[in-house]
Homo-oligomer: A and B are copies of this chain.
Amino acid sequence: MKKPLILVTNDDGIIAPGIRALVEVAAEMGEVVVVAPDSPQSAKGHAITIHEPLRLKKVKVFEGLEAWECSGTPVDCVKLAKHVVLKDRQIDLCVSGINHGSNASINILYSGTLSAAMEAALEGIRSVGFSLLDFSFDADFGPSKQWVQTVMTFLLSRPFQRGQLLNVNIPKLASNDIKGMRVCRQADARWVEKFVEGHDPSGHPYYWLTGEFINNDHGLDTDIWALENGYVSVVPAMHDLTNHEALSTLSALNH
Contacts and interface: CB of A to CB of B under 8 A. Distances in A.
A235 B238 CA distance: 16
A242 B237 contact: yes
A1 interface: no
Contacts of A204: 55
Nearest to A52: B208
A50 B80 CA distance: 26
A47 B43 contact: yes
A183 B235 contact: no
A110 B109 CA distance: 11
A239 B186 CA distance: 10
A239 B255 CA distance: 27
Nearest to A79: B193
A108 B242 CA distance: 10
Contacts of A123: 190
A244 B185 contact: yes
Given A46-B110, A190-B122, A206-B53, A238 B236 contact: no
A205 interface: yes
A243 interface: yes
Q: Range of interface residues on chain A?
A: 35 or more
A205 B55 CA distance: 7
Tell me the number of copies of this protein. Answer: 2
Contact of A55 (B56, B206, B209, B236): B206
Contacts of A184: 247
A49 B209 contact: yes
Looking at A181, A186, A209, which has the most chain B CB atoms within 10 Å of its CB?
A209
A169 to B, nearest CB: 13
Contacts of A194: 83
A170 interface: no
A242 B56 contact: no
Nearest to A48: B43
B237 A241 contact: yes
Q: What 6 A-B pairs come out closest when comparing CB atoms?
A: A45-B46, A53-B206, A236-B246, A45-B45, A238-B243, A236-B243
Given A43-B50, A53-B207, 17 more contacts: A42-B51, A45-B45, A48-B209, A49-B209, A54-B195, A54-B206, A55-B204, A82-B193, A83-B195, A106-B239, A109-B115, A154-B252, A154-B253, A164-B246, A167-B241, A186-B242, A236-B247
